[in-house]
Amino acid sequence: MKFGVLGTGVIATSARGYLNGMMRLAGDVVLEAACDPVADRVKQVADQYGFKTHYSALSEMLERSDVEAVVNLTPIPFHGQTCLEILDSGRHVIVEKPIATTMAEADEMIRLARERKLTIVVAPPNMLHPNRQEARRLVAEGQIGRVAFARVRSSHGGPASGNWPLDPTWFYQEGSGPLFDMGVYGIHDITGIVGPAKRVVAFSGITDPVRFVRGGPFKGKKIDVTADDNTLLMLDFGDSAFAVIDGTFNVNAAKAPQVEIFGRAGTINLNNELQGEAPLIEVFRLDALPGLDGWITPRIRDLDARMARMRELGRGIVVDHLVQSLRDGVAPILSAEHARHALEIMIKAIGSARSGLALSLDTTF
């Protein structure tokens, strides 16, 4: 497939970013066109990665190139508008999370894709991870009994707290913030494993109205925080099953599992590869052996090969997922419908925090 890439910043060019992974998919992926309004950057990236051509405006790339799909790596506030333009031109879309920032944009994207018979794939790639897929299977099969509640951690200290190579100000402004940037991971995790939620209730606010960049080329820069930087939400899945998720720029360090799912007959812990020697998945079972409770580490089929593939491709695994979905004629796991459900949760979490009410969710997937 001939791909265009819209946005050539850090997410595109980092070591585990999209472009390095796409280059490793050379048998399936052609780097046809790069697009970015920063003219010097897009030319440099196009030359470095071997794009056939480059543009400074999306409309020019869509009009003049013969790309078949576009990887949309624009900042969060632009996702919806640019995806609609891409779909309207007849191209498939991969978009970084979240799918959009309004439900109207997400709804229109899904409608347009169905009308034009196009496919949308939406990051994050969480549900492609073998441990997430195994957790989903275990929950569906009742291996830990009826799910009672879950704790999900998907936050970090924020881009201003580390060595972010670009100006991190926009992460802290209205239209962005840690809920859209980081909380979305945890929302995708738990809904991907347990299923769609029915209600959301949340607390949200700004912990520090001013932040200073701690490292990198913008060290010392003052940032006025206008987007909530501290959100905790609870999901109600029905039948007294709940989940607590954080979306905050206040987690400077943590040792707990990323995801803990507590069922009436056991527990599932999910970790990532950065958490030392912790297994990717651990399961506690009542009566793991007759009369003996205990922790076990499930054997996941082809785990080493699958994880090696994910490490090799980095964020490019999302591109591979689109290619494979189209080749096999199946709906993607990273679907626009799932992403729309996650977006509704985030929007209504803020609404709940402002109103003090638990709000019902209308979408599913």
Q: Is the pLDDT of residue 274 over 70?
A: no
Q: Is the pLDDT of residue 275 over 60?
A: no
Please report where in the chains the tokens 């991870």 appear, as a residue: 129
Cis peptide bond N-terminal to 168, omega within 30: no
pLDDT at 62: 98
What percent of the chain has pLDDT above 70? 99
pLDDT at 309: 96
Tell me the pLDDT of the chain averaged across its residues. Answer: 96
pTM of the model: 0.95
Q: Is the pLDDT of residue 179 over 90?
A: yes
Residue type, 292: L
Average pLDDT, stretch 60-66?
97
Q: Is the pLDDT of residue 150 over 90?
A: yes
Local confidence band at 276 (pLDDT 50, 70, 90 cut-offs): low
Q: Where are the beta strands (DSSP E) in the chain?
A: 2-6, 30-35, 53-55, 69-72, 92-95, 120-122, 147-152, 199-205, 210-212, 222-224, 230-236, 242-248, 259-263, 266-270, 281-289, 292-296, 359-360
Please report, for residues 109, 281, 348, the alpha-carbon distance to residue 292 in angstroms, rounded to integers and kept in the order given: 51, 20, 43
DSSP secondary structure, 99-119, as one string = S-SSHHHHHHHHHHHHHHT--
pLDDT at 118: 98
pLDDT in tens, 291-348: 899 999 999 999 999 999 999 999 999 999 999 999 999 999 999 999 999 999 999 9
Q: Is the pLDDT of residue 159 over 90?
A: yes
pLDDT at 289: 84
Q: What are phi and psi of 78, to 5 degrees?
A: -100, 0
Q: Is the pLDDT of residue 245 over 70?
A: yes
- What does the radius of gyration of the chain's CA atoms come to, in whole angstroms? 21
Please report where in the chains the tokens 């995790």 appear, as a residue: 189
Cβ pair 143, 283 in contact under 8 A: yes
In sequence order, the 6+-apart residues with CB closer than 8 A to the CB of 349 are 179, 183, 200, 202, 204, 231, 233, 247
Please report where in the chains the tokens 């990323």 appear, as a residue: 258
CA–CA gap between residue 72 and residue 87 (Å, rounded): 11
Cβ pair 42, 36 in contact under 8 A: yes
pLDDT in tens, 67-114: 999 999 999 999 999 999 999 999 999 999 999 999 999 999 999 999
Q: Is the pLDDT of residue 137 over 60?
A: yes
Q: Is the pLDDT of residue 259 over 80?
A: yes
Q: Which domains are seen in the chain, by residue range?
A: 2-125+314-335 (3.40.50.720), 126-301+341-360 (3.30.360.10)
pLDDT at 163: 87
pLDDT at 2: 98
- Tokens standing for residue 146: 């009826």
